[in-house]
Amino acid sequence: MSRSLHHLHRPLGDTGLIVSPLGLGTVKLGRDQGVKYPSGFTIPDDDEAGRLIGLAHELGINLIDTAPAYGRSEERLGPLLRGRRQDWVIVSKSGEEFEAGRSSHDFSPAHTRRSVERSLKRLETDYIDLLLLHSDGDDLRILRDSGAYETLAELKREGKIRAFGLSGKTVEGGLLALERGDCAMVTYNLAEQGEKPVLDYAASHAKGILIKKGLASGHACLGAGVDPVKASFELIFGHPGVGSAIIGTINPLHLSHNVATAAEVLQGRP
C-alpha cells in the first residue's frame, strides 16, 4: 500500500480541477495571532516553509490553501512556489482582511476585484484556481446582497480565476453557494456534522467540496486506542461529496502521518 497520495487525486466537482484528497493549509505560514489552535507555534522561516511545501509535493499533495486573512501567507507563497506553479492547485479567498492583529470584512464588488488582483500579484500568477468568499457568518446576505459572488463570476469569465465559491458557516449558505457557484468549503469533523446537507447536495449535483477543520483544528480526541486522525478521515472520505480536506500543519511528521493515514483510509475503501 502506498503512503502517498499521487495516485489518489480526484475531480473537485465539475470545476475541471483535479486535486489531492488532502490540501495544505497555510494560515501558519503567515499568521500567529487570533488563531484557534490548542498550542502556540512559531511561524516557520523561508527554508522551513520551502521544505514543508517540498515534502507536501513529494507526498502527492497538489492543493494549497491561502487567504489574505492569513497574514503574510500569500506574499510568502509567491516566491516559494516560483517556477512550480504548474504543480499546484491554488485556493485563495476574498472578503476578510487581517491587519494589526484584527480581522475586518468587505464583500463589496470593488473590494472583491481589488483583493483578487492583489492576490494574483502576491502569488505571482496569472490565475487562481479557486477563489472563495471568506464568510463572516452572514452567508446568505453575502451571497444575495453584496455583489461579491457576481464579481467572482465576472473574474471567472475573464480567466483570472478558474472556479469560485464560499467558505461559509451555515447550511443555507453552503447550498446557495453551490447552486450559484462551483464549490463550498465546509466544516465537517467528528464533533461537527451539521453542514452534512451541503455535502449531500454536492454529491448529487457534481459540485466541489473542501473540508475545513476536518481534524477540529488539532483538537480531535477520542477514546483510548482509537487514532483520531484515522477516525476523522474515515468520516470525511466516507462521504462521496468530499473532494479534499485542508490540513493546516507546519510539522513535517504530522504532515507525513496525515498523508499515510488518508492513503490507508482511501485505499481500504472498496
Catalytic residues: 70
Over range 120-143, report the average pLDDT: 98
Q: How confident is the model at residue 38 (pLDDT cuts 50, 70, 90)?
A: low
Domain definitions of the chain by residue range? 10-217+225-268
Residues shown for the chain? 270
Q: How confident is the model at residue 151 (pLDDT cuts 50, 70, 90)?
A: very high
**Predicted TM-score of the model (pTM):** 0.95
Contact 203, 241 (CB under 8 A): yes
Contact 153, 162 (CB under 8 A): no
22-25 and 63-65: which strand pairing? Answer: parallel
CA atoms of 122 and 119, how far apart (whole Å):
5
**11 phi, psi to nearest 5 deg:** -70, 145
Measured in whole angstroms, the distance separating CA 161 from the mean position of its chain's CA atoms is: 15
- As a CATH number, domain 10-217+225-268 is 3.20.20.100
Over range 13-32, report the average pLDDT: 96
CA atoms of 112 and 110, how far apart (whole Å):
5
Q: Give 24 or 38, the one with higher predicted confidence.
A: 24
Q: How confident is the model at residue 139 (pLDDT cuts 50, 70, 90)?
A: very high
Coil, strand, or helix at residue 144?
helix
Contact 245, 23 (CB under 8 A): yes
* Contacting residues for 232 by C-beta, under 8 A, at least 6 apart: 189, 190, 214, 215, 216, 220
pLDDT score at 1: 66
What percentage of residues in the chain have a pLDDT greater than 70? Answer: 94
In b/e form, how buried is each residue of 135-169, taking b as 16+ CB within 10 angstroms?
bbebbeebbeebebbebbeebbeeebbbbbbbbbb
**130 phi, psi to nearest 5 deg:** -145, 125
Q: How confident is the model at residue 221 (pLDDT cuts 50, 70, 90)?
A: low
pLDDT beyond 80 at 9: yes
Contact 259, 61 (CB under 8 A): yes
pLDDT score at 101: 86
Q: What is the mean pLDDT of the chain?
A: 94
Q: How confident is the model at residue 153 (pLDDT cuts 50, 70, 90)?
A: very high
CA atoms of 22 and 19, how far apart (whole Å):
8
Q: How confident is the model at residue 111 (pLDDT cuts 50, 70, 90)?
A: very high
Q: How confident is the model at residue 63 (pLDDT cuts 50, 70, 90)?
A: very high
H helix or E strand, kind and range, residue 97: strand 96-99
> Tens digits of per-residue pLDDT, 67-93?
999 999 999 999 999 999 999 999 999
